[in-house]
């Protein structure tokens, strides 16, 4: 009953938000003219660089193919505008990509970036604009190439508990992503790798301002005494509310594969405040998580709030840290949890690039 009411309200809010979508306008003819006169010498007239060109051989760096739909779609418009304006070095890329802030006006930079984005049809790929900041608990909707370490320290009655998770996420196809997770727990009774999780995520609806995906993950305990494992499914949603505010939410359902234990539902949401286009900044966010076991004999409704910050570590932000404190609002059997997340978006380059 409560769930229906909450979902009713959430869907009204979501519908209202989707009507608010933001579109940008640009003069593509102007962009094309700028591209051909200023950029094509290195990037090629079609955006596909010619490795035999003496200019590029002199530079010693071969730019990526801007007309490749996967590459073109995955890089957010705003990041490319920053690269064109401030140059490759400022965004953790090669310094051979020159800054254009003195040579071109802001409008020309905007138009040429829009033109570069229009070089290839990317409609079959979720846009990189929707590759939003990784939350601590809310599931992300965007399919990505990422290696993530998540640590959690929890103060509770009895021995404190530590949980370490290593996630390997690899993009496949146009909108899919494979998931592999290793879960390690240390508490009073265990200090071991407890679960291996494998799964798949698929984005199935998107625009420049929202993305929705569905995922299924099979959690397999390493020790057969810990039951047969669990199937977890989730829906994840990401949305740009405005250039400064982003919203993400996920609904996760857990189904144990044996009759002995019970599953539950988890609804999580987060709002980030994005005050700057520079990736290497500190971005605050507030996350709220509600969990309800299917049968209350296995536990009670739990509500927690999780204030956190995202700290971009590299100039391009492809390595970033999240720090958060999760505070129970209802009567949980623990005091608070401290979360540390280190993420590396390996599609944007090696771990050591751009510090
Ligand atoms: C002197 C050669 C040169 C010129 C001129 C040049 N670029 Fe580049 N550009 C590069 C190189 C080299 C890279 C690759 C940087 C890297 O991957 O580290 C690059 C990278 C890029 C990228 C990709 C950023 C990413 O996410 O990897 C974009 C977009 C781009 N350039 C757009 C432009 C536009 C638009 C212009 C014209 C206004 C332009 N470039 C002019 C050499 C150039």
Which tokens belong to 146?
């990422």
Q: For domain 126-348, give the CATH number.
A: 2.40.160.40
Mean pLDDT of 188-192: 85
- Residue 344 Cβ contacting ligand 1 at under 6 Å: no
Look-up: residue for tokens 């286009």?
277
To test the pocket of ligand 1, the residue of 63, 74, 76, 79 to mutate (highest count of ligand atoms within 8 Å of its CB) is 63
User: Among the ranges 17-31, 153-167, 295-309, which has the highest mean pLDDT value?
Assistant: 153-167
Number of Cβ within a 10 Å radius of residue 41: 12
With cut-offs at 50, 70 and 90, classify the pLDDT of residue 20. Answer: very low
Q: Average pLDDT of the chain?
A: 88
State pLDDT tens for residues 117-126.
Answer: 999 999 999 9
Would you say 197 and 217 are in contact if contact means Cβ atoms under 8 Å apart?
Answer: yes
- Any ligand 1 atom below 6 A from CB of 62: no
Kindly state the percentage of the chain with pLDDT values over 70: 91
Q: CB-hemisphere CA count at 13 Å for 68? A: 11
C-alpha distances (whole Å) from 166 to each of 78, 180, 329 are 30, 8, 28
pLDDT at 143: 95
pLDDT at 295: 76
Predicted confidence (pLDDT) per residue in 292-351, tens digit: 888 766 568 889 999 999 999 999 999 999 999 999 998 777 888 999 999 999 988 889
Taking the centre of ligand 1 as the mean of its atom positions, its distance from the CA of residue 136, in whole angstroms, is 33
User: Regarding predicted confidence, which is higher, 270 or 294?
Assistant: 270
CA distance 18 to 119: 27
Rounded to whole angstroms, the Cα distance separating 114 from 35 reads: 10
Distance from CA of residue 186 to its chain's centroid? 28
**Pairing of the two strands 146-156 and 161-172:** antiparallel
- CATH fold label, 28-117: Cytochrome Bc1 Complex; Chain D, domain 2 (1.10.760)
Which residue, by CA, sits nearest to atom 6 of ligand 1? 39
Instruction: Report yes or no: 139 and 268 within 8 Å, Cβ to Cβ.
Output: yes
pLDDT of residue 18: 39
Q: Is the pTM of this model over 0.75?
A: yes
Residue closest by Cα to atom 37 of ligand 1: 39
Cα(163)–Cα(199) distance, integer angstroms = 20
Does residue 63 have a pLDDT over 80?
yes
- Domain residue spans in the chain? 28-117, 126-348
Residue nearest to atom 5 of ligand 1 (CA): 39
The DSSP code sequence of 159-221 is S-EEEEEEEEEEEETTTEEEEEEEEEEESSS-EEEEEEEEEEEEEEEE-SSEEEEEEEEEEEE
């Amino acid at each position: 009953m409560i769930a229906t009411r909450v979902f009713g309200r959430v869907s009204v809010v979501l519908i209202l938000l989707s009507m608010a979508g933001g579109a940008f306008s640009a003069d593509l003819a102007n962009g094309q003219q700028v591209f051909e006169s200023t950029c094509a010498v290195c990037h090629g007239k079609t955006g596909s660089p010619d490795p035999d060109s003496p200019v590029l051989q002199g530079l010693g760096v071969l730019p990526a193919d801007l007309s490749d739909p996967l590459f073109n779609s995955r890089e957010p418009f705003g990041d490319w505008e920053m690269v064109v304006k401030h140059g490759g070095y400022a965004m953790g890329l090669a310094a051979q990509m020159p800054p254009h802030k003195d040579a071109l006006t802001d409008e020309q930079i905007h138009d040429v970036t829009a033109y570069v984005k229009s070089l290839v049809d990317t409609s079959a790929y979720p846009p990189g604009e929707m590759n939003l900041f990784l939350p601590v608990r809310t599931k992300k909707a965007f399919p990505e190439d990422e290696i993530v370490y998540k640590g959690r320290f929890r103060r509770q009655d009895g021995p404190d508990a530590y949980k370490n998770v290593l996630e390997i996420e690899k993009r496949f196809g146009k909108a899919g992503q494979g998931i592999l997770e290793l879960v390690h727990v240390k508490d009073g009774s265990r200090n071991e790798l407890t679960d291996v999780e494998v799964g798949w995520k698929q984005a199935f609806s998107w625009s420049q301002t929202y993305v929705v995906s569905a995922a299924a993950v099979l959690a397999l305990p390493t020790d057969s005494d810990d039951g047969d494992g669990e199937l977890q499914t989730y829906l994840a949603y990401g949305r740009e509310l405005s250039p400064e505010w982003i919203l993400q939410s996920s609904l996760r359902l857990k189904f144990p594969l044996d009759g002995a234990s019970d599953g539950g539902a988890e609804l999580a949401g987060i709002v980030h405040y994005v005050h700057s286009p520079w990736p290497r900044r500190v971005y605050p966010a507030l996350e709220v998580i509600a969990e309800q076991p299917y049968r209350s004999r296995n536990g009670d409704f739990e509500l927690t709030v999780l204030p956190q910050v995202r700290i971009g570590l590299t100039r391009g932000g492809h390595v970033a840290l999240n720090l958060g404190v999760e505070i129970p609002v209802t009567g949980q059997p623990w005091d608070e949890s401290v979360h540390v997340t280190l993420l590396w978006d390996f599609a944007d380059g090696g771990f050591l690039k751009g510090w």
